[in-house]
C-alpha cells in the first residue's frame, strides 16, 4: 500500500482522539507549518490523571516525521497510538509478532504515564515527498529562506544546542543539514519545544528517524566523559575545541545519567529484537558522526540550562534499512519499532510509580522521594551504587509488580515505609524502625526469589553495601563527602558563536577521516541522516 498522505495521518490522529475520549486527546499545536498546515499531537493517559492536559505526570514524548523523506515513522506512531488505546479501552493485551504485553502491562503504562505523541512534525515536507512533481527524498521543511538560493531548514539542526558551532550543520541553504537563520527559527521546531515546555513531567524523548537500525543517545558534539564537569557545552572556554572525536575535549555527562541512557537504549533495542531478531546498535550519537542542534541533545541539555528542570533522557531511534521500505518490510519495521516503544514506556515507568498506580487507596510521597534520590543519594558513593542498580533492574521490577500479587503487596508496604522516611527533611533525620527495616527486607527477599540472576546479584550487593541500617537515619546512611568547589561556569544560552575560520579549517581536516560507523554505511546512505 502507498504511504499515508498528510491528510490521512491527520484523520488518524482525530480518529484516535474521537474513539477514545476518556483516554486520548488531540492537541492542536500553537503554530501552523510554513505552508499553513495545522500540526497535531496526541496525549494518552488513563486513570486519575486522564482529564488534565497538559499535566505534570511522568511522561514520554515520541516524535516522528522531523525529516520528510522518512515516511515510515509517522505511520508507526499513529498506529501505535491506535493499538495502545484500543488495548487499554478493551482491557486486552498487545502483541507484536512473538512479543506480547498483557492487559495489566498496558494498564500500568496508560494509567501511570502521560504519553505524548507527535506523529508528523513536518507535514509540509512529507507532502512535498508524496505529491506529483515533488521530491521523494526531500529532508527539510519548506521554509522560503528569503534571499537564499534554496528552500528548507533541517528541523533536526535547528535547536539551540550548540547551534552556532558549525558541528555537523551547515549555513548553506542548499545543504540537507542547513541549520536555518537562527535557533528555533522554524514554527515546526517551536511546536516541539512547546510540547516539552508544556509537560514538565517528561522523563524521556524519542525522536524516531530512519534509517540505520540504531538507538542513539547524547552527546552528539563530542565523546562523553564523566569526571570533569567543566568540560561542558555551556563553557565558552572550550568553544572551537568540540566536534573532533578522540581529541582532548570531551563532553561531560554524569555517570548516573550515562547509565540511565544506556539502560533505556538497551531496553528499546531488546524490545525491537524480540519481534524478529533485528539487532539494533545502541551507541553514543557521535559514534555515527558529529552533530549539534539535534532534538535528543536539546531535550537532555535542558536540565543543565534550566535550574530545577527534570532530566529528560534523549534518544534518536533510527529505524529500518531504507528511508521508505516496501510493504512487507514496512509492516515488520512498524511492528518491531512499536515493541521498542512499549519497552521505553516500561523503563520510564519506575517501580514506585507502578506501585502507586496499582494502589488507589494510598498516596505516597513520590516527588519527595525522587528529590531525595537525585539530590542526596546520587551525591554519595553508596547511594550512587544503589541508583545504578535500580536503573539496571527497574523495568524487570515493574513487570514483576504487575504479574506477582505477593511482590506487589510487599512493595506497597516498603513504599509506605520509604515515603514516611524520605517525605520530609525532618523524617530523614529519624531512625529507621525495626518494622520499616523488615518491610524493606521482605520485598527485596521476594524479588531475589522470583527475579533474574542480574536482579538477584544486584540485590545481594545492595544488602551488603547497606548493612543493617535499622536505627540509622537516611541522612546518616547516605553521607555526602566534602568536595572542592568546581570552577564556576558562566551561565549562558546554549547556542555559541561560530568558531573562527582557523578552527573550522582545522576541524574540517580532522573530520576528513570519517568515523567507523559512517564509513560502514556511506556507500548506501545520503549525507545528512539523523
| Grouped pLDDT means (10 residues each) for the chain, 530 residues | 95 98 96 98 83 76 98 98 97 95 91 95 98 97 98 98 97 98 98 96 97 97 96 96 94 94 95 97 97 98 90 97 95 98 92 82 85 82 84 84 90 93 88 92 93 92 85 84 50 40 37 36 44
Beta bridge partners of 60: 115, 204
Alpha-carbon gap, residue 54 to 27, rounded angstroms: 9
Phi, psi at 406, each rounded to 5°: -65, -40
pLDDT at 48: 65
What is the DSSP annotation of 471-504? T-BHHHHSPPPP-PPPPP-----S--PPPPHHHH
pLDDT at 509: 33
Alpha-carbon gap, residue 387 to 393, rounded angstroms: 10
Burial class (CB in 10 A: 0-12, 13-18, 19+), 384: middle
Alpha-carbon gap, residue 346 to 268, rounded angstroms: 10
Helices (H) and strands (E) in the chain, counts: 18, 12
pLDDT at 49: 58
Alpha-carbon gap, residue 477 to 467, rounded angstroms: 10
* Strand, coil or helix: 117: strand
Percent of residues in the chain assigned helix, strand, coil, to nearest 5: 45, 10, 45
Are residues 204 and 300 in contact, defined by beta-carbon separation less than 8 angstroms? no
Q: Which CATH superfamily is domain 25-349 in?
A: Zn peptidases (3.40.630.10)
* Strand, coil or helix: 330: helix
pLDDT at 505: 38
434-450 helix and 453-466 helix, angle to the nearest 10 degrees:
160
Are residues 165 and 107 in contact, defined by beta-carbon separation less than 8 angstroms? no
Task: Report how far Cα 431 is from the mean position of its chain's Cα atoms.
Answer: 37
Alpha-carbon gap, residue 118 to 229, rounded angstroms: 34
Write down the residue that cell numbers 514496512 correspond to: 330
Q: Cα dist. 394→63, 260, 399 in Å? A: 24, 11, 9
Are residues 45 and 113 in contact, defined by beta-carbon separation less than 8 angstroms? yes
Phi, psi at 411, each rounded to 5°: -65, -35
pLDDT at 475: 84
For CATH 3.40.630.10, the residue range(s) in the chain are: 25-349
Alpha-carbon gap, residue 332 to 1, rounded angstroms: 14
Are residues 381 and 481 in contact, defined by beta-carbon separation less than 8 angstroms? yes
pLDDT at 391: 80
123-130 helix and 6-19 helix, angle to the nearest 10 degrees:
130
**Angular region, 159: left φ>0, alpha ψ -120 to 50, beta rest:** beta
Are residues 456 and 448 in contact, defined by beta-carbon separation less than 8 angstroms? yes
103-112 helix and 381-403 helix, angle to the nearest 10 degrees:
130
Are residues 87 and 94 in contact, defined by beta-carbon separation less than 8 angstroms? yes
Residue 5: how many other CB atoms lie within 10 Å: 14
Alpha-carbon gap, residue 461 to 467, rounded angstroms: 10
Phi, psi at 30, each rounded to 5°: -70, -20
SS (H, E, C) 61-93: EEEECCCCCCCHHHHHHHHHHHHHHHHHHCCCC
Amino acid at each position: 500500500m502507498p504511504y499515508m498522505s498528510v491528510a490521512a495521518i491527520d484523520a488518524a490522529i482525530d480518529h484516535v482522539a474521537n474513539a477514545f475520549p476518556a483516554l486520548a486527546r488531540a492537541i492542536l499545536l500553537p503554530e501552523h507549518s510554513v505552508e499553513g498546515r495545522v500540526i497535531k499531537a496526541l496525549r494518552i493517559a488513563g486513570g486519575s490523571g486522564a482529564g488534565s492536559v497538559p499535566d505534570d505526570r511522568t511522561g514520554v514524548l515520541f516524535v516522528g516525521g522531523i525529516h520528510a523523506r522518512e515516511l515510515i515513522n509517522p505511520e508507526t506512531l499513529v498506529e501505535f497510538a491506535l493499538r495502545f488505546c484500543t488495548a487499554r479501552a478493551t482491557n486486552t493485551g498487545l502483541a507484536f509478532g512473538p512479543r506480547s504485553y498483557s492487559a495489566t502491562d498496558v494498564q500500568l503504562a496508560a494509567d501511570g504515564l502521560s504519553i505524548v505523541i507527535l506523529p508528523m512534525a513536518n507535514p509540509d515536507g512529507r507532502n512535498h515527498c508524496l505529491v506529483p512533481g515533488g521530491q521523494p527524498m526531500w529532508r527539510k521543511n519548506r521554509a522560503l529562506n528569503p534571499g537564499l538560493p534554496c528552500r528548507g531548514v533541517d528541523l533536526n539542526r535547528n535547536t539551540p544546542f550548540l547551534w552556532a558551532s558549525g558541528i555537523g550543520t551547515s549555513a548553506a541553504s542548499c545543504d540537507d543539514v542547513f541549520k536555518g537563520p537562527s535557533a528555533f527559527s522554524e514554527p515546526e521546531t517551536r511546536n516541539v519545544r512547546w510540547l516539552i515546555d508544556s509537560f514538565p513531567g517528561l522523563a524521556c524523548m524519542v525522536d524516531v528517524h530512519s534509517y540505520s537500525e540504531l538507538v542513539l543517545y547524547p552527546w552528539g558534539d563530542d565523546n562523553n566523559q564523566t569526571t570533569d564537569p567543566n568540560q561542558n557545552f555551556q563553557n565558552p572556554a572550550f568553544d572551537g575545541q568540540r566536534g573532533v572525536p578522540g581529541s582532548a575535549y570531551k563532553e561531560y555527562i554524569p555517570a548516573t545519567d550515562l547509565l540511565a541512557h544506556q539502560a533505556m537504549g538497551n531496553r528499546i533495542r531488546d524490545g525491537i529484537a524480540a519481534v524478529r531478531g533485528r539487532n539494533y546498535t545502541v551507541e553514543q550519537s557521535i559514534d555515527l558522526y558529529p552533530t549539534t542542534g539535534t532534538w535528543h541533545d536539546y531535550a537532555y541539555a535542558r536540565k543543565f540550562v534550566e535550574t530545577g528542570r527534570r532530566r529528560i533522557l534523549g534518544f534518536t531511534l533510527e529505524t529500518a534499512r531504507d528511508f521508505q521500505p516496501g510493504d512487507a518490510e514496512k509492516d515488520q519495521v512498524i511492528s518491531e519499532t512499536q515493541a521498542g516503544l512499549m519497552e521505553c514506556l516500561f523503563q520510564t515507568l519506575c517501580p514506585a510509580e507502578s506501585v502507586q498506580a496499582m494502589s488507589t487507596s494510598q498516596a505516597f510521597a513520590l516527588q519527595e522521594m525522587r528529590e531525595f534520590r537525585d539530590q542526596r543519594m546520587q551525591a554519595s558513593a553508596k547511594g550512587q551504587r544503589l541508583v545504578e542498580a535500580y536503573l539496571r533492574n527497574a523495568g524487570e521490577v515493574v513487570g514483576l509488580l504487575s504479574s506477582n500479587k505477593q511482590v506487589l503487596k510487599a512493595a506497597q508496604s516498603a513504599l509506605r515505609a520509604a515515603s514516611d522516611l524520605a517525605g520530609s527533611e525532618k523524617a530523614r533525620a529519624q531512625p529507621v524502625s525495626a518494622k520499616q527495616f523488615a518491610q524493606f527486607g521482605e520485598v527485596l527477599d521476594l524479588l531475589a526469589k522470583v527475579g533474574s540472576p542480574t536482579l538477584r546479584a544486584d540485590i545481594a550487593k545492595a544488602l551488603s553495601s547497606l548493612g543493617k541500617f535499622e536505627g540509622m537515619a537516611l541522612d546518616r546512611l547516605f553521607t555526602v563527602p566534602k568536595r572542592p568547589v568546581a570552577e564556576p561556569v558562566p551561565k549562558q544560552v546554549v547556542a555559541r558563536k561560530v568558531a573562527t575560520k582557523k578552527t573550522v579549517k582545522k576541524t574540517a581536516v580532522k573530520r576528513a577521516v570519517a568515523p567507523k560507523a559512517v564509513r560502514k554505511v556511506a556507500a548506501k546512505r545520503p549525507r545528512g541522516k539523523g
